[in-house]
Structure 1
Amino acid sequence: MSPKSLNAQAIRLSVAPMMDWTDTHCRVFHRVLAPHARLYTEMVHANAVVLGDRTRLLAMDAIEHPVALQLGGSEPELLAQAARIGAEHGFDEINLNCGCPSDRVQAGRFGACLMREPALVADSVAAMVAACAIPVTVKCRLGVDDDHDYDHFVAFIDTVAAAGCRMFVVHARNAWLKGLSPKENREVPPLRYDWAYALKRDRPGLQVIVNGGIATEAEATAHLDHVDGAMLGRAAYHDPYLLHRLDVAWFGGTLRTRGELLRAMRPYIEDQLARGVYLKHITRHLLGLFAGERGGRAFRQVLSEGAHKPGADWSLIEQALALTQAPALVA
């Protein structure tokens, strides 16, 4: 099958795949906030997709589209099977993780360490492209450890692009596989957005998305002068209203209040509660909605302390929301 590119508008704004965070409840919330954003699952190992509980691992609500399945792995045949399964489950894109720096990932020979094996990544991408009719993309770093050679980075991109990948999400830092924790890997290695910009300039036929350290509307918007899109990670989770502001600024529409957006979640939340889902599994993703706002701390406290209790329902959310509207409270 021929390589497939994504619609330019569909990749301008996206939310990064984040382990333990971007589950289906989180993605539904982000879709309410940002109707035009591209959403990504947590990384799922290809072996788990092929052999595991797909109902749980590939859980997705129809409202989430467009949503991409991020896979981890380094065995082309297994990745191809997982990609085919992901496409059959309705995902709009398959993304291969070549950026995660955790010890567990290194031990399994996938994630960031794959940047040292471009031929293997290319074989994996080719197998996935052949196995499914949706775009196959790659999320990577600039390099591994003390590799600071731009030409080496571009050689990796070229090798993988030749196998059928047309879009690269570039977390614009190196991954340090020795001496830094995954958390430190998101903060310590210096950001070099200029490499992502140069990649787009040198390879204009590729779609390049920049990721890493984007914390404000101005920062995200500035990237659009150089690359095809901006992917937000922790900022979208800890300050989710930023997603809404960006969606309105970039795609149009009316800016809604935080309370309006929260209440738009009510049908989904009540449906999930009726299915036996505990409120805490959903509200943990809502805690940052009033970050920095009047009553924001009280909002978080009410949800954090009450959502795990038996019988917790929508009324708890209304109780928390009321505290953000009480004139005597400050954040």
Structure 2
Amino acid sequence: MRLWVLILAAIILSFISLFIGAIDIKPADLLDWDSQQAQIFLISRVPRLLAIILAGAGMSIAGLIMQSLSRNKFVSPTTAGTLDAAKLGILISILLFSQAAYMQKIIFSFVFAFAGTILFMQILDRIKFKDPVFVPLIGIMYGNILSSITTFFAYEGDLIQNINTWLMGSFMLIISGRYELLYVSVPAIILAYLYANKFTVAGMGEDFAKNLGLSYKAVLNLGLILVAIISTTVVLTVGVIPYLGLIVPNIVSIYMGDNLRKTIPHTIVLGVVFLLICDIIGRVVVYPYEIPVNVTVAVIGSLLFLIMLFRGRAYAK
């Protein structure tokens, strides 16, 4: 699939997304910038589109980095406990500081996401039998453990409602002033592209990377930092969006291979297209109401994930 086709699809879907919602807005309404429709367009529809673009691109790149560094196509922030660790960090910040400031939540979420991802990578290093399907199942169990710990402390601290809010990945509440944290993922994506070749070499194994004079640990830590930054910004702004970082890089690798320098642009645009499609479906199916995007992504993503699991099992045999 050519990149320009994906870009064209993203542009068309973006235009559709801007004019779908409970309040009917037509392009002609934007001619009067003082009208209610124009204000809604600027305050709600445009920020929502930007949030979808940033979240879709960011989570897709995070999944691509993790799959490259772990050398497993089934690893992503969803199946490695990264998102669950980020949620745990937010909860800890609230429990330690009753009136936790936004920056404290960011710091705790980032630290826990980074530490949780490193712990998962350490677990992978200790596994001798690295079956392509077995690894993500361990990651899912690991994530469930973190999620259970989060739920337990949330129950003890009477914060269950907050936990449910973090779990519900949705763009419904995105307005101007409530999505700008996602811009932090832009430098992370740029760094991912600049270090793409090093991530590709590191993905070939520690010994191979050292033989080429590459500092494997430094590249690994940089990749995990980028994943933690992206995951933190998405969880704090939108909530948990499952399977996005798992499905998109796999689709791209089918027709582009595993050279990150070549696959990153395709991964970014396809991630945006995939998330736009899921968001539009959620807004059209029950119009004028809306299904949270994590529901549509989970349904479509889980089906694709099962297909990949069966393909991976067949390939392993």
Which structure is richer in relative contact order (CA contacts within 8 A, separation 6 or more)?
2
| Same structural fold, with TM-score higher than 0.5 when normalized by the shorter chain | no
Q: Which has the higher helix share?
A: 2
Task: Give the structure with the larger strand fraction.
Answer: 1
TM-score range, shorter chain: under 0.3
Please give the TM-score of this superposition, normalised by the length of structure 1: 0.25
TM norm structure 2: 0.26
